[in-house]
Amino acid sequence: MEHIDLTSLDPERTVVVATGNLHKLKEISAMLGPRLPGMRFVALGQLGDFPEPDENGTTFRDNALIKAEAAVAETGLAAIADDSGLAVDALDGAPGVHSARYCGRHGDAAANNDLLLKNLADVPDDQRTARFVSVIALVSRSGLVTIGQGACEGAVGHVGRGDHGFGYDPLFLPADTPGRTMAELLPEEKNAISHRFHALQDLLGQLDGWTTA
């Protein structure tokens, strides 16, 4: 990951994306960039090795705010954070806020997917409904909070397919693209239907006159 000198950034023209995940950085900057022309989006991980906040919230909104507010405090820049995950109806909403660490280890996508398939092994197709949920928190340097929320409805498949995306994308079958997993969609196709897209659209509708201050 490219290192960026924090002191070289213009605080009025920079938004920190509170993630070390470059996939999320690209998705968020691709969608927000046209609406906030001239704004530079950088990943928190590019600015240094900051301690990760304790994501102890019980909802996606809680955790998105925790991450965004921590990034503002650490950098002095406006920050945006996404908390998202997969909610499976047959599992009472699990993995939910624990999506990234469903298997007990943070960020082990293969193990998370394996455990999900194991827990759904006896669940018939018509009961494998699920949705990706995203909540995005944008926090200005002064602490002004703007929240966007979105979801992408679909179902969990039986085998992973596709080389794009990350996380549970190879198993998730969006209702908007029958027969194709999220990981089989090109980035521009995913960005047009994803939970993050809908959350960003919700956020964008609230940004008239928004500044980083």
CB atoms within 10 A of CB 132: 25
Burial class (CB in 10 A: 0-12, 13-18, 19+), 173: buried
DSSP annotation of 158: S
DSSP annotation of 134: E
Q: Which residues are catalytic?
A: 83
Phi-psi region of 50 (alpha: psi -120 to 50; beta: other; left: phi over 0): beta
Angle (CA) 176-167-185 rounded to 5° is 35
- Rounded distance between C-alpha atoms, residue 142 and residue 148, angstroms: 19
Burial class (CB in 10 A: 0-12, 13-18, 19+), 78: buried
